[in-house]
Amino acid sequence: MSSGTVAMCDPVGMRALVIYESLTGTTRSAARRIAEQLVEAGWEATACSTKQVDLAALQRADVVVVGTWVDGLILVGQRPGGRGRLGSLPLLGGKPTYGFVTFAVHPGKTLDKLTTTLESRGGDVKGAMTIRRDRLEEGTAEFVDRLVAVTEPA
């Protein structure tokens, strides 16, 4: 029997859920950009607020991204904004999780604190990044580049 050819399906992209906590809209914009750029990279992506997490999308997600803003006294006392909602996120079930925070001047140790919170919700935190609010375009593009690079096989 002659050897045939195998029809390959298109590789299935990863599925991401981007959850954001936002007071004045900056982190929501960043989350939307990240989801849009992941879709452009061939992923499936959904963005939703911490106030209304899409549980079906969370269950389907291969990767969870959680973003919030830096709350503090500008140069001291920084911490993740909306800690109450972040601390009561649905359980992340050991999924690979990536955090980001938007900030104005100085994020302090907010990323470490966000990481601790996400781990307490069962996220397997693989990385986190700060994004300056006046450089959202560059910051979100870098976040997506890094995420795609570490997540997809070479």
Ligand X SMILES: Cc1cc2nc3c(=O)[nH]c(=O)nc-3n(C[C@H](O)[C@H](O)[C@H](O)COP(=O)(O)O)c2cc1C
Q: Does 25 bind ligand X (CB under 6 A)?
A: yes
137 near ligand X (CB under 6 A): no
Q: Is residue 103 involved in binding ligand X (CB under 6 A)? A: yes
Instruction: In whole angstroms, give the CA distance from residue 142 to residue 11.
Output: 24
Q: Which of 16, 18, 19, 22 binds ligand X (CB under 6 A)?
A: 22
C-alpha distances (whole Å) from 127 to each of 50, 52, 143 are 20, 24, 10
Asked if 52 and 65 count as a contact pair (C-beta separation under 8 A), the reply is: no
Q: How far apart are CA 134 and CA 32, in angstroms?
A: 16
- Mark residues 27-46: x for contact with ligand X by CB under 6 A, - for none: xx------------------
> Which tokens go with 99?
């955090």
Stretch that binds ligand X, among 46-54, 63-71, 113-121, 142-150 (CB under 6 A): 63-71
Interaction site with ligand X (CB under 6 A): 22-28, 69-74, 78, 102-107, 133
